[in-house]
Amino acid sequence: MRSSSNSAETLGRFKRWGAELYLALLQLLLPAWCAVCQGPLGVGSRSIVCGACWGGIRILEPPFCPRCGRPFWGSPLAHPPSHRCQACRTRAPQYVLARSAVLYDRDDPLREILLVFKHGRRIALGPHLGRLMASRVVDLFGERAIDAVVPVPLHRRRERERGFNQADILARVVGKRLHRPVLHRAVERVRPTPPQAGKARDRVRNVRGAFAVRDPARIDGRSLLLVDDVLTTGATVSECAKVLMKAGARAVLVYTLARAL
């Protein structure tokens, strides 16, 4: 009698463990709450961000500055296609042109998604964001020649702290879409720079001399698509483009996931 009650107890314990393990695995596989808005995720959702948050991302549509991609508000008729923005007329960027897939504003869910991705280290969001870029890259760059994709680098120390470079992950998806190689570390950040803030002029000063090309043979004579997550004033990508051009690139085009307003 005694041994049968023992085995029933053992069996019960195993069942409880089994159920707990099952729930823990389920939670790992299906996080129940959106990492951005904390709303419920649909059952079977394969993303950690809910459909409403993804759906709230705003595509960047024309009219925008033909050079730097800065959005213009109002009717396209008010801005002829050749009309460049004030910033580009004052200081021409070092790249041929810049385009962004979506908008980035204080209230946009994209801002939160990027925070969760970069600072919350939810690396799984990277390929989703990369696909957002990949889905628009042909529309935005058309037939322009692109030989290789180059991610905007983080300083090694920053990359070690974060565990990854967000631009690397985005560039990989874009490169795959274009069937072009990704040249990781083709340009390197040789000086750590404080996070970009403040006026455009300060941002230009902040990144001056921060980048270098160690192996010019990798980029010599090639048209490059420089990839980053957000373009604000464009000081960072312009400085990268300058260094790449000096090292022998034929042309530098810029593609960012998002364009800050």
> Cis peptide before 63, with omega less than 30 degrees from 0?
yes
Q: What DSSP string runs through 12-29?
A: HHHHHHHHHHHHHHHHHH
- Please report whether residue 240 would count as binding Zn ion according to CB under 5 A: no
63, 67, 229, 241: which one contacts Zn ion (CB under 5 A)? 67
Q: How far is the CB of 67 from Zn ion (least distance, A)?
A: 5
Complex with Zn ion: residue 37 or 190, whichever CB lies closer: 37
DSSP conformational letter for 41: P
Q: How far is the CB of 86 from Zn ion (least distance, A)?
A: 8
Residues 6 or more apart in contact with residue 93 via CB below 8 angstroms: 67, 68, 234, 237, 238, 241
Closest C-alpha among 87, 93, 92 to residue 226: 93
- Please report whether residue 110 would count as binding Zn ion according to CB under 5 A: no
Residues 139-178 close enough to bind Zn ion by CB under 5 A: none
Complex with Zn ion: residue 106 or 179, whichever CB lies closer: 106
Q: How far is the CB of 83 from Zn ion (least distance, A)?
A: 9
Q: What DSSP string runs through 72-103?
A: PPS-GGGS-TTPPPHHHHHS--SSS-EEEEEE
DSSP conformational letter for 66: T
Per-residue x/- mask for Zn ion, residues 24 to 63, rule CB under 5 A? ----------x-xx-x----------x--x----------
**Start-end of H helices in 75-224:** 86-90, 109-118, 125-141, 156-162, 166-178, 200-207
Q: How far is the CB of 241 from Zn ion (least distance, A)?
A: 14
Complex with Zn ion: residue 37 or 123, whichever CB lies closer: 37
Q: Which amino acid is residue 146, in one-letter code?
A: I
Complex with Zn ion: residue 185 or 232, whichever CB lies closer: 232
Give how many residues touch Zn ion by CB under 5 A: 12
Complex with Zn ion: residue 21 or 78, whichever CB lies closer: 78
Q: How far is the CB of 235 from Zn ion (least distance, A)?
A: 13
Distance of CA 56 to the CA centre of its chain: 17
- Please report whether residue 65 would count as binding Zn ion according to CB under 5 A: yes
C-alpha 166/C-alpha 169 separation (Å) is 5
* The pair of three-digit structure tokens given for residue 184, joined into one six-digit string: 């990781």
Residues 69-98 close enough to bind Zn ion by CB under 5 A: 70, 85, 88
Complex with Zn ion: residue 79 or 180, whichever CB lies closer: 79
Residue ranges in contact with Zn ion by CB under 5 A:
34, 36-37, 39, 50, 53, 65, 67-68, 70, 85, 88
